[in-house]
Structure 1
Amino acid sequence: MRRAGILNRHLAGALAELGHGDLVLVCDAGMPIPRGPRVVDLAFRAGVPSFAEVLDGLLAELVVEGATAAKETRRANPAAAALLDGRLPALRLVPHERLKRLSGGARLVVRTGEASPYANVLLRCGVFF
């Protein structure tokens, strides 16, 4: 039994398999999930767990060297944009349609229960050394 950190066994195991350069899509409940990547669906009810809770938990466990989000987030969801700006200083913005295409290359998709628009980010794993 783990004492702290991510307790969900499916998510903890998936994170342990990631390597340098692997992509992880953290998405809201409405984001289309591409075929291919491993999916850990944490959604329970609308808003639970939130995008912020899941992102913070993942950032505490992962080394992230880059991130990509939809540029539409700034206009349509200022709270999510502020969260991403505060947590991911090297955030790259692309059109939402491009983000959906890029997510096809993800190794892992973590679906949250977030019910607000454009609460999605593609994280690129780094190394701790």
Structure 2
Amino acid sequence: MKKAGILNRHLAGALAELGHGDGILVCDAGMPITNGPRVVDLAFRAGVPSFAEVLEGLLAELVVEGATAAAEVRDANPSTAGLLAGHFPDLTLVPHERLKELSAGARLVVRTGEARPYANVLLRCGVFF
């Protein structure tokens, strides 16, 4: 049994299958999810787990070479915008509709219980060497 890191077996297994360039959408409870990507739904109830908690846990285990979020996050959800800017100085911002289009190509979707708008980010996996 694991004693640290991500303990959810579905999420830990899905992360182990990712490779360089694969996309991971970390999203709020309201983000539409297209058919295709593998989905690990962590949402328990509104706000649980939060987007920030899940993102922090993922970043502790992944190499991320890029991130894309909706430009609308800046005005609609300043705390999430600040969190993303703090982790990703080169964060790409696109219209929310474009983020939804890009998300269709993600290999993995991790749905949180976040109930604040535009708490979504598409991560691009990097390599550790």
Q: Partner letter of residue 55 of structure 1?
A: L
**CA–CA separation in structure 2 for the residues paired with 1:12 and 1:106:** 17
Q: Which runs of 4+ in 1 moved over 3 A?
A: none
- Residue 90 of structure 1 deviates from its aligned partner by 1.6
* TM-score normalised by the chain length of structure 2: 0.99
Alignment of 1:1-129 (within 5 A): 1-129=1-129
**CA–CA separation in structure 2 for the residues paired with 1:9 and 1:88:** 27
**CA–CA separation in structure 1 for the residues paired with 2:116 and 2:27:** 10
In structure 1, the gaps of 5 or more residues are none
The alignment covers a number of residue pairs equal to 129
The percent of aligned pairs where both chains have the same amino acid is: 84
- Residue 10 of structure 1 deviates from its aligned partner by 0.1
| Cα RMSD after superposing both structures | 0.4
Question: Which is further off, 59-68 or 82-91?
Answer: 82-91
- Residue 100 of structure 1 deviates from its aligned partner by 0.1
SS of structure 1 residue aligned to 2:21 = coil
- Residue 19 of structure 1 deviates from its aligned partner by 0.1
**CA–CA separation in structure 2 for the residues paired with 1:6 and 1:88:** 21
* TM-score normalised by the chain length of structure 1: 0.99
SS of structure 2 residue aligned to 1:19 = coil
In structure 2, the gaps of 5 or more residues are none
